[in-house]
Homo-oligomer: A and B are copies of this chain.
């Protein structure tokens, strides 16, 4: 039995890492008059579907995928949520 999961993955810079893009956005917002905005940090939001026989296996795959490809573990953190979208029975 295969289950399809929707994964919502958040990749954010570690708090100790400088975020020049965030600083630029904050500066731009201040020029537009939004001086009530602070601490802008820009990360990545990735959605994908992953098919697996069990949720534990899907989570293990996602951990490896994030470490190898989606995040740079030296400067970035990641977390993800899994939502079951479809279960299929039968031979694949």
Contact = CB atoms under 8 A, between A and B. Distances in A.
Interface of A: 10-12, 22, 25-26, 28-29, 32, 34, 36-52, 61, 65, 68-70
B48 A45 contact: no
A38 B44 CA distance: 18
Chain A at the B interface: SS class = strand
Contacts of A70: 25
A12 B36 CA distance: 25
Contacts of A22: 46
Contact of A61 (B26, B36, B44, B61): B36
Contacts of A29: 65, 69
B48 A39 contact: yes
A4 to B, nearest CB: 8
3 tightest Cβ-Cβ pairs between the two chains A and B = A45-B45, A43-B45, A40-B48
